[in-house]
């Protein structure tokens, strides 16, 4: 077989492997361009060159995925790069070593998400693994653009059918189409913005493609219980046999605390003499110790729980699993919703109701923020419009004091000359 000859499809197809060794067929028209035939019978195109005095061989395309003509064009491009002083093989190796989105997700979850509250950490893990990884997992961190971020968030906002299964086992869920999830898209955007911000700190890229992402409109839910609804809720709690779950709801209503904070509360956190509840940083959403005053009613519930809870348990509301607090009360709440006729009320709406009652009692936004444990004033601002009622009462009070005792309708004949019509 000649040492050099023009590579053609026919020649490449007919090239037979040698037993025990690989060999090359060099092209007679393009220097360093060759076909390598492996002992296994597979074939690929290569280019041989020297860089900094070192011999290099780069395999860049397998046959028949690459045709001879396409491989020759690529070999010419690589040859020009070599003549310009570049090392194509080194560039490929560096490209392979660059961090990918999978690396970013893993490091983000370990170094950032793990420091968040458990619920938030689980949510971050879910977003990254279920919404981001399937689309970008094998892509380089450096190649993600703003357009890529916009496309992903648009897809997330469009929603997906529930449940996330190829073959749902429930006919009703089979027929359920995709549900729009614009708020979820915003949360994914925030997570990506933080992840790429960390990537900049780690030296993985120089800019943040998720900075300034398009934020979908969010209308915060504002559901406050009326006095009648509060009365029906209190009556339903009094009549229910699950005293443990009923007391959890009562404390949520009386303190504005999140249900998770109440479920995981310990006796040691309550100072019943000074009427203070100190929530540890590990149990709060803001990851800071939160010290709040409590009412005598809350203290009475805690004292009652001490009488019925085994002395070996540190939890105010121990769960069915030994050594653990109550895990969830969703079934109980569903029952209470029906009995109290408040089907559209979430447990978290009790927190909003607590804040609304404080506002109606004259509490300032700063006081409400401290009681609810808000770290940002803008979070408390959602209750600002509720201040209109007490403010209006104050304005009306001033108007009542300043209003003339008797208003008299004055006719044209009784008006001063300057006010009469000409």
DSSP letters spanning 27-78: -SSSTTEEEEE-TTS-EEEEEEEEETTEEEEEEEEEETTS-HHHHHHHHHHH
Structure confidence by residue, pLDDT tens digits, 115-174: 887 888 899 999 999 999 999 988 999 899 999 999 999 999 988 755 445 555 555 555
Same structural domain for residues 302 and 255?
A: yes
Burial class, 262, CB count within 10 angstroms (exposed 0-12 / middle 13-18 / buried 19+): buried
pLDDT of residue 225: 85
Which positions ≥6 away from 377 have C-beta within 8 Å? Answer: 365, 369
Same domain, 86 and 116: no
- Report the number of distinct structural domains present in the chain: 3
Among 97, 117, 143, residue at a domain's last position: 97
34 vs 56: CA distance, rounded Å = 13
Question: Does a structural domain hold residue 215?
Answer: no
Assess whether 85 and 107 both reside in one domain: no
The phi and psi torsions of 98 (rounded to 5 degrees) equal -65, 140
Q: Is residue 226 part of a domain?
A: no
pLDDT value, residue 322: 86
Tell me which of 97, 118, 144 is where a domain ends: 97
Say if residue 48 is in the same domain as residue 162.
Answer: no
Q: What span, in angstroms and rounded, lies between the C-alpha atoms of 408 and 414? A: 11
Residue 89: CATH number of its domain: 3.30.160.390
Q: Which of 291, 300, 294 is nearest to 247 (CA)?
A: 300
Main-chain dihedrals φ then ψ at residue 292, nearest 5 degrees? -130, 150
CA dihedral 96→99→105→111, nearest 10 degrees, is 140
pLDDT band at 176 (very low <50, low <70, confident <90, very high): low
Q: Is 51 exposed, middle or buried (0-12, 13-18, 19+ CB in 10 A)?
A: middle
Same domain, 106 and 163: yes
Domain that holds residue 359: 237-394
| pLDDT of 5 strictly over 70 | yes
Q: Which of 5-9, 93-97, 352-356 is the least confident region?
A: 93-97
Between 18 and 221, name the one with better pLDDT.
18
The answer to the question of residue 163 being in a domain is yes
Q: Identify which of 132, 119, 150, 349 has the alpha carbon closest to the alpha carbon of residue 249.
A: 349
Is 249 within the bounds of a domain? yes
Q: What does the pLDDT look like over 64-105, one tens digit per residue?
A: 899 999 999 999 988 888 888 888 877 777 666 688 999 999
What are the tokens at 362?
A: 């004259």
- Asked whether residue 343 is domain-assigned, the answer is yes
Counting every residue written for the chain, the total comes to 422
Does 211 reside within a domain?
Answer: no
Q: Are residues 83 and 110 in the same domain?
A: no
Which of 344, 406, 349, 336 lies closest to 382, judged by CA?
349
- Strand-pair partners of 40: none
Contact predicate 57/22, CB 8 Å: no
Lowest-confidence region among 230-244, 254-268, 274-288, 310-324? 274-288
Question: Based on the domain organization, do 370 and 258 belong to the same domain?
Answer: yes
Q: What is the reported pLDDT for 95?
A: 62
Position 47 pLDDT exceeds 80:
yes
Question: What pTM does this model have?
Answer: 0.56
As a whole-number percent, the residues of the chain with pLDDT over 70 amount to 81
| 34 within 8 A of 25, measured Cβ to Cβ | yes
Residue 219 counted as domain residue: no
- Is residue 381 a part of any domain in this protein? yes
pLDDT digits (tens, 9 = 90+) for 308-324: 999 899 999 999 888 89
Final residue belonging to a domain, choices 97, 127, 158: 97
């Amino acid at each position: 077989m000649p040492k050099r000859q023009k590579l053609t499809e026919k020649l490449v197809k007919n090239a037979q492997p040698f037993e025990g060794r690989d060999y090359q067929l060099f092209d007679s028209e393009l220097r360093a361009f060759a076909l390598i035939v492996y002992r296994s019978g597979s074939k690929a195109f290569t280019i041989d060159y020297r860089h900094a005095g070192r011999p290099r061989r780069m395999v860049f395309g397998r046959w028949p995925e690459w045709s001879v003509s396409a491989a020759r064009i690529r070999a010419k491009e690589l040859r020009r790069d070599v003549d310009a002083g570049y090392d194509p093989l080194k560039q490929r190796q560096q490209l392979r070593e660059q961090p990918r989105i999978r690396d970013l997700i893993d490091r983000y979850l370990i170094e950032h998400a793990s420091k968040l509250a458990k619920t938030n950490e689980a949510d971050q893990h879910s977003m990254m693994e279920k919404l981001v990884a399937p689309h970008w997992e094998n892509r380089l961190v450096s190649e993600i653009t703003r357009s890529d971020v916009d496309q992903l968030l648009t897809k997330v906002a469009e929603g997906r059918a529930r449940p996330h299964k190829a073959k749902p086992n429930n006919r009703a869920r089979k027929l359920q189409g995709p549900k729009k999830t614009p708020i979820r898209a915003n949360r994914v955007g925030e997570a990506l913005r933080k992840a790429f911000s960390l990537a900049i700190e780690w030296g993985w890229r120089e800019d943040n493609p998720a900075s300034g992402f398009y934020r979908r409109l969010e209308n915060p839910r504002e559901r406050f219980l009326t006095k009648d609804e509060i009365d029906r809720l209190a009556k339903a709690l009094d009549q229910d046999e699950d005293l443990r779950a009923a007391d959890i709801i009562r404390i949520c209503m009386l303190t504005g605390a999140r249900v998770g904070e109440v479920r995981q509360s310990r006796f040691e956190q309550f100072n019943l003499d000074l009427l203070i509840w100190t929530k540890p940083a590990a149990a709060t959403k803001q990851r800071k110790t939160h010290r709040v005053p409590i009412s005598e009613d809350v203290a009475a519930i805690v004292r009652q729980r001490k009488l019925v809870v085994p002395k070996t348990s540190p939890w105010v509301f121990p769960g069915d699993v030994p050594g653990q607090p109550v895990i969830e009360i969703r079934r109980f709440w569903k029952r209470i919703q029906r009995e109290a006729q408040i089907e559209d009320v979430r447990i978290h709406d009790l927190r909003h109701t607590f804040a609304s009652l404080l506002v109606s009692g004259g509490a300032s936004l700063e006081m409400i923020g401290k009681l609810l444990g808000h770290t940002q004033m803008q979070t408390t601002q959602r209750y600002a419009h509720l201040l209109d009622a007490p403010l209006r009462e104050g304005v009306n009070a001033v108007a009542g004091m300043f209003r003339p005792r008797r208003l008299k309708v004055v006719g044209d004949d009784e008006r001063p000359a300057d006010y009469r019509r000409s």
